[in-house]
Amino acid sequence: MGYHYELRFGGVGGQGSLTAGTILAHAAVFHTNYYATQAPTYTSQVRGGAAKADVIISDKPIAFSETTHVDFFLATHQKAYDAYKGDVAEGSYVLVDPGLIKVADEDRKRWKIYEYPLVNVAKHEIGNVVTMNVIAVGVCVGLTHVLDAEAVRDAIKDDVPPAFLDLNMKAYNLGLEVGEKFRKEAEAKK
């Protein structure tokens, strides 16, 4: 089996979960020679309903596009965390904002839980709460090395409006740093 990675970005409508998934998929398709699919799931509740984007990245064409073995799960709302954690494989990375989500103890045993205050950092350090999804993308890439950090950077450049590019780059760099730090800590523990 070649390279195959499944990611899930869950939140509630309006938080930008789908965009986070799209950025990674674009990075895989346009800036890395990989295949990718992105399958969003949402309810008719446009704002506030649980929403997720499942992204599969692979070096081979993807036939069946449903995720069955999620390797990385980002949750930015309790509703989404509870609803979408089912497919997350044992031992996978789970990134949550502790201000938004309460993680049960048995979940901590099941997955590698990383907690980072995405909303607060986006609001106070970056200056705009909407960048929380890009911070999360950064943490994800730093932590998992799912794709080359530069490829993702290029995808962000393509996808965000030019006026917000600097802001988003700042958010991405910060997230990336945090992710790398998590990764080093985990390696050190080993």
Residue 50 in the binding site for other proteins (CB under 8 A): yes
Q: Which residue type is seen at 120? A: N
**SS3 label, residue 11:** strand
- Round to whole Å and give the CA distance between 86 and 21: 18
Residue 154 in the binding site for other proteins (CB under 8 A): no
Residue 38 in the binding site for other proteins (CB under 8 A): yes
User: Of 60-68, 89-97, 98-106, 132-140, which segment contacts other proteins by CB under 8 A?
Assistant: 60-68
> Which residue, 15 or 142, is less far from other proteins as judged by CB?
15
Residue 107 in the binding site for other proteins (CB under 8 A): no
CB of 126 to other proteins, least distance (A): 26
Residue 36 in the binding site for other proteins (CB under 8 A): yes
Pick the binder of other proteins from 14, 66, 99, 127 (CB under 8 A).
66
Pick the binder of other proteins from 43, 46, 115, 166 (CB under 8 A).
43
> Which residue, 61 or 161, is less far from other proteins as judged by CB?
61
> Which residue, 41 or 173, is less far from other proteins as judged by CB?
41
Q: Is residue 139 a contact partner of residue 175, using CB atoms and an 8 Å limit?
A: yes
CB of 87 to other proteins, least distance (A): 7
Q: What angle do CA 81, 98, 129 make, to 5 degrees?
A: 90
Q: Is 91 left (phi over 0), alpha (psi -120 to 50) or beta?
A: left
Give the DSSP letter of residue 164.
Answer: G
- Round to whole Å and give the CA distance between 3 and 144: 13
Q: What angle do CA 13, 175, 163 make, to 5 degrees?
A: 70
Q: Which residue type is seen at 42? A: Y
CB of 155 to other proteins, least distance (A): 10
CB of 90 to other proteins, least distance (A): 13
Pick the binder of other proteins from 87, 107, 148, 180 (CB under 8 A).
87
**What is the phi/psi pair of residue 32, to 5°?**
-140, 150
Residue 40 in the binding site for other proteins (CB under 8 A): yes
